Amino acid sequence: MFEETTVTHPVKNGPRHVACIMDGNGRWAAARGKPRLAGHHAGAKRCKEIVRACPDLGVTHLTIFAFSTENWRRTQSEVAGLMSLFRRYIQSEARELLAAGVRVRFIGDRVALDPKLGRLMDELELLTSKNDRLNLTIALNYGGRDEIGRATKRLAAEVAAGRLCPNDVDETVLARFLDTHVLPDPDLVVRTSGEARISNFLLWQSAYAEYEFIDTLWPDFTADRFAEAVARFGERERRFGAVTA
């Protein structure tokens, strides 16, 4: 049974965009003598709880790392189980997300995904496109380097076609070709499970993000613990390369 958050108010100076590397599902399951997919199901339930908590904390954008470009290296059974979980999640949660005012977007390379899953992703994006209470972005078959590579290919095509002058290319122009071009950069990136690495997640966008590396495994990362991480962000001084007087 998962707990409901007890935090019901926005955090002063809190982050507006939080990105989560949801790590530890497999270890959570193994510690309980369960198959890894049981951990992924538990992680999906925890994600639902945190999505519900975000608006009350003042978080307007939540980005979650669901499946990386490197995750294809896992066993065939685990990959197949994850893809089935994604399909079921989209189908079962679509109406609830719509009713809750959540706008869903997907980032990542969709080419390698099952066409049925791709259609469900398109349909959920369209269904929730008018919502604005929370912007939920799901990174699926996503890798930061892959994203930048795809962006530069599109940018190069524009230059080759004469629609873009090479001298006009700068970081602002390149950002327009990223999967996240309609999103603000994350203020806070949270990684669970005790690992202290960023694993190719939002490499460009997180240049000035604050990081929280938390020992808790994702299925045990309650909405209250999420709220604590949000509150700690409010205590940080963000200088963006400047110095205080």
Residues noted as catalytic? 23, 71
Report the C-alpha gap between 191 and 216 in whole angstroms. Answer: 9
Taken in order 93, 129, 163, 145, the sign of the CA dihedral is: negative
> Alpha carbon of 21 to those of 4, 15, 141, 142, 224: distances in Å?
21, 16, 14, 12, 17
Place of tokens 């873009």: 164
Is residue 7 packed enough to be buried (19+ CB in 10 Å), middle (13-18) or exposed (0-12)?
middle
Query: Parallel, antiparallel, or unpaired: how do β-strands 134-142 and 102-107 relate?
Result: parallel
How many CB atoms within 10 Å of residue 189?
Answer: 23
Do 144 and 67 contact (CB within 8 A), yes or no? Answer: no
- Where would I find the H helices in the chain? 25-30, 36-57, 76-99, 115-127, 144-160, 171-175, 223-233
Do 97 and 67 contact (CB within 8 A), yes or no? Answer: no
One-letter amino acid of 195: E
For 208-223, b where at least 16 C-beta lie within 10 A, e where not — what string?
A: ebbebbbeebbbbbbb
Residue 214, classed as helix, strand or coil, is coil
